[in-house]
Structure 1
Amino acid sequence: MSRTLLSLTVCAAALTCAVSANAQSYSIGLWGDMPYAKAADAPFIPALLEDMNASDIAFSIYDGDIKDGSSECTDAVYTDATAMFNSLKAPVIYVLGDNEWTDCHRTNNGGYDNLERLDHIRKTMFSTTGSFGMAKMDLEHQGAAGEKFVENTRTQKDGAMFVGLNVPGSNNNKVNDEKSCTKKSARTPEQCAADNAEYTERDAANIAWMKASFAKAKADGDKGIMIVVQGDVGFDTPETEDDSEARMADKDGYAAFLDALIAETKAFDGQVALVHGDTHYFKIDKPLPDATHMLSNFTRVQTFGSPNVHWIKVDVDATSRNVFTFSPMIVAANATKTLGE
């Protein structure tokens, strides 16, 4: 009997050691909403990239807006962003923002067909399954290379999953009325109808990819899942407002996505982090579903953005209590820009 117990103890210890060895800690970077020409960000980008390159991150995720919302959506915007991403040593995962496609219909953006710009991004920046960066990593994509929804990605590493979704600002490309269709815009009513059809199809695809990712994370035993989008889905309306419908009055393009996210988070035993940009202020909180009904395993992280040219380091440890630990990385050379000096 003692030999049997000893054998079982040794086996259990070996199994524990194996699990611990497989769940290693590492770090990733989060950044986005830069460079903006109107904020003169360009001279500060090299210091940011140098700081990230000097770190030990396994990869980084850029959460959208490769340009500001008042400049033209020329082809050079996308080639410049590709060059920026590829100047980082570690792999870079790119999540789309509104400034590079949703808002391109605006007259001060050149009056482009914004759906044509989305198609261009898919064909030129997502023509392969690999990431950006000097070192590449393979990613799972929802769509085929260059086609619809190819920009929706996911990857897993040591007990955590990372999911990128095309959920941009500007109400997720949902057009609610004629005023929002034509204000400072070159869009026709027919183009606005096409935008709404695009929103409906992509919103359903986003939710399907997110649900499938949660299911995969559960099946694989992941302890944490990070969802990265660009748009502020309504968290920065007053947190004290208990009426969620009032808070989301002008953010209805995100309603179905948020409902699905809440349901998936409630059904997930591990930690869930939603990372986004759009509003440009570093922030960490627990806003879902409202101030009096907190989801304890859900955390929102808003990344730095122009004119704050900094990044966030995330330490990932699937054996730890919170799985994800977020640290703001203030780039010393860019601190005077942040202070407005």
Structure 2
Amino acid sequence: MKLRFCILFVSILIHSFSFSQNKKTPFTFIVLGDMPYNLPKDNLKFENVIAALNKRNQAFNVFVGDFKSSKTPCSDTAFQKILGYFNSFKKPLIYTPGDNEWTDCGKPQAGSYTTNERLSAIRAQFFKDTLHSLGKSTMELSSESSNVAYAKYVENKMWKYNGISFATIHLVGSNNNFNTDNLNSNEEFYERSNADIFWLNTVFEQAKKDNSLGIVIFEHADMITPDKGKEGFVTFLKELQKRVETYKKPVLLVNGDSHEYKVDKPLYENVELKKTVLNFTRLQVFGEADMHAVEVTVNPKNPALFEINQIWIPEINKF
């Protein structure tokens, strides 16, 4: 195991996007997800979203999953159309999958696919270049797949920018593909859960090693809302809270899934006293009918580090 850690960290040092020379310089990045949802009518709206975001001066963009609804086809043709959209972003775009791209593809409306086959298709099409982002201009990323023990997890990424550590972790809605009705069918869940915990720990260890000012983690699932399912997230959330409390510095978690813009502090040191884990903030992006985005400014002069602003895109109605 020690050898595997060494191999992974060497790969990270070689392939990660390098720190800027000035960690005190503010910068912005943009997050969005859960769109275009109702296809094909939302495609033109999404094109207007992209056009609006391409006029801004962000360092990069991150899409936190669900580029379609669970009731629209999961075909290779549909995937390739979205991939084309992602590559039309002027600035780098990093993508982490949602449940509608694969766990829900077994539904008749989605094409009655085998879910694991669609997951393999997502990995093959969207993560063909394991060491770079999508977009017209790309940025270097490190991938969990550089560790032979987790070679299939090409979607779990890490990068650094101006003193901040960033990572994507593959957790999805629909209870993270955990089947409560047939516990013997959860092989994919358990394997990915182990990979996600390993990657989470790697992210925090690397951030400490780099003396990062803070950490941003992107994933799809709304793990916080109780009715979204808890069995698929309980282990990850426990490990996340432990890591955040030990880390002390600001940590921002960005998710999609619930289609409701929200900024909150949902972790508690003491639930009865409502004492929050102060250095942890959750940002949930817009989605579905609200095809808008969120801009995050990293401001080292602000003790909270992350300044969050909504980006309303009226252009979605111009088509």
Same fold (TM over 0.5): yes
| In 2: Cα distance, 1:139 partner to 1:54 partner | 24
- Given that residues 122 and 147 in structure 1 are in contact (C-alpha distance below 8 angstroms), is that contact kept between their aligned partners in structure 2? no
Secondary structure (helix, strand or coil) at the match of 1:30 reads: strand
Secondary structure (helix, strand or coil) at the match of 2:171 reads: coil
Equivalent position of 1:242 in the other structure: none
1:259 to 231, 238, 241: 238
Equivalent position of 2:31 in the other structure: 30
Secondary structure (helix, strand or coil) at the match of 1:315 reads: strand
Equivalent position of 2:302 in the other structure: 320
Matched, 1:220 2:222: no
1:131 to 120, 126, 133: 133
The one-letter amino acid of 1:305's match is G
Shift of 1:22: 3.7
The one-letter amino acid of 1:133's match is G
Equivalent position of 1:229 in the other structure: 219
The one-letter amino acid of 1:226's match is V
Equivalent position of 1:293 in the other structure: 275
Equivalent position of 1:16 in the other structure: none
Shift of 1:269: 2.1
Matched, 1:155 2:159: yes
RMSD between aligned residues: 2.2
1:141-177 Cα offsets, whole Å, 9 max, x none, are 0015995111000111111111101100010010001
If you compute each CA radius of gyration, which structure gives the higher value, 1 or 2? 1
Secondary structure (helix, strand or coil) at the match of 1:161 reads: strand
- Given that residues 222 and 318 in structure 1 are in contact (C-alpha distance below 8 angstroms), is that contact kept between their aligned partners in structure 2? no
Shift of 1:38: 5.3
Cα 1:298–1:335 change in 2 (3 A) is farther
- Given that residues 39 and 306 in structure 1 are in contact (C-alpha distance below 8 angstroms), is that contact kept between their aligned partners in structure 2? no
**Runs of at least 5 residues in structure 2 that lack an aligned partner in the other structure:** 1-19
Cα 1:20–1:164 change in 2 (3 A) is closer
Equivalent position of 1:109 in the other structure: 110
| In 1: Cα distance, 2:55 partner to 2:304 partner | 26
| In 2: Cα distance, 1:109 partner to 1:53 partner | 31
| In 1: Cα distance, 2:162 partner to 2:300 partner | 7
| In 2: Cα distance, 1:314 partner to 1:70 partner | 31
Pairing of 1:260-275 with structure 2 (within 5 A):
260-275=239-254
Matched, 1:164 2:153: no
Secondary structure (helix, strand or coil) at the match of 2:90 reads: coil
Equivalent position of 2:11 in the other structure: none
Shift of 1:293: 3.3
Shift of 1:62: 0.2
Cα 1:335–1:273 change in 2 (3 A) is farther
- Given that residues 224 and 318 in structure 1 are in contact (C-alpha distance below 8 angstroms), is that contact kept between their aligned partners in structure 2? no
Equivalent position of 1:141 in the other structure: 143
| In 1: Cα distance, 2:101 partner to 2:184 partner | 20
**Runs of at least 5 residues in structure 1 that lack an aligned partner in the other structure:** 1-18, 179-191, 238-246
Equivalent position of 1:98 in the other structure: 99
- Given that residues 41 and 306 in structure 1 are in contact (C-alpha distance below 8 angstroms), is that contact kept between their aligned partners in structure 2? no
The one-letter amino acid of 2:137's match is A
| In 2: Cα distance, 1:109 partner to 1:41 partner | 17
Equivalent position of 2:187 in the other structure: 197
| In 2: Cα distance, 1:149 partner to 1:318 partner | 32
The one-letter amino acid of 1:140's match is S
| In 2: Cα distance, 1:331 partner to 1:284 partner | 19
Equivalent position of 1:64 in the other structure: 65
- Given that residues 286 and 293 in structure 2 are in contact (C-alpha distance below 8 angstroms), is that contact kept between their aligned partners in structure 1? yes
Q: Which moved more, 1:43-52 or 1:328-337?
A: 328-337
| In 2: Cα distance, 1:198 partner to 1:253 partner | 12
